[in-house]
Amino acid sequence: MDGESRTRRRVLSAVLTRGPVTAGALADALGLTPAAVRRHLDALTADGLVAAHDLVRTGGRGRPARTVTATAAGRAAVRPRGGAGAGEELAAAALHRLAALGGREAVTAFAEDRARALEVRCAPALAAAGPGLAERVDALAGALSHEGYAASTRPVVPPRASAARRAPGRAPGRPAGRAPSAAGAVHAVQLCQGACPVAHVAGEFPELCRAETDAFSRLLGVHVQRLATLAHGEHACTTHVPVASPRSGTSTTRATSRTSTSPTSTSRQTPRTTASPEGTHPA
């Protein structure tokens, strides 16, 4: 792979993890010029690996910012264990056979076993992160990225605080634990996964998503809610994690591990909600 191809792959990987993201933010994150990033994005768009979108603005004037996200083909291109093909077909066939022989209960048991194994692999990273919930979410994102999920975190702040605190040119996806500090400003974090090894079957077998979200809740010790999934056509799997009380600004304590995992219309409206994540990551 030559230097040009390696750089283009770096750009694609950054889009996968950070998207939706602007060319300027990618340039800042990768240490490239905006012109170079746009050239690579044009090539990736022509290859069907990324798609451009106009960012919806809630107010103000001027042209809307253009962001890019990875397409399904783009996610497959950077998948660490290979792209779509015989492996995915085998997994789908195995789950269909399991459901035929043991019913949905068997699929649920399989999904829970898989999620608990993921939980065991991620637990050491969270233990090393300490008691702070925002730092633990960051650690979970890092552990998931090591598993091939291209995960990142985005702080969710009230709109006034978001407008006052958003720095020009700031690359989205900065870990929530390193968000600017102000008492009570950040009250939740979005955990975003730009890739998923079971996205191709999770739409038909939602037990996989439910079990995974339950594992996140157990790891973090708080109620979490899955807002969007790749399996339902979104550009990322997005999980809402409360890290502080919106009224008091105090850190959320470890609490019930019940979760909500069904994507609803809320997941498609995140950019327009009253609590907007920094970096504008639509769920």
- Give the tens place of pLDDT for each residue, 161-217: 555 554 433 333 444 444 444 445 778 999 999 988 888 899 999 999 999 999 999
Confidence of residue 233 (pLDDT cuts 50, 70, 90): confident
More confident residue, 97 or 251: 97
Quick check: 270 and 163 in contact, CB under 8 A?
Answer: no
- Show me where the domains of the chain are located: 3-77, 97-277
Confidence of residue 19 (pLDDT cuts 50, 70, 90): confident
- Give the tens place of pLDDT for each residue, 21-76: 899 999 998 999 999 999 999 999 999 998 888 866 555 566 667 898 888 888 87
More confident residue, 259 or 197: 197
Q: What is the fold, at CATH topology level, of the domain defined by 3-77?
A: Arc Repressor Mutant, subunit A (1.10.10)
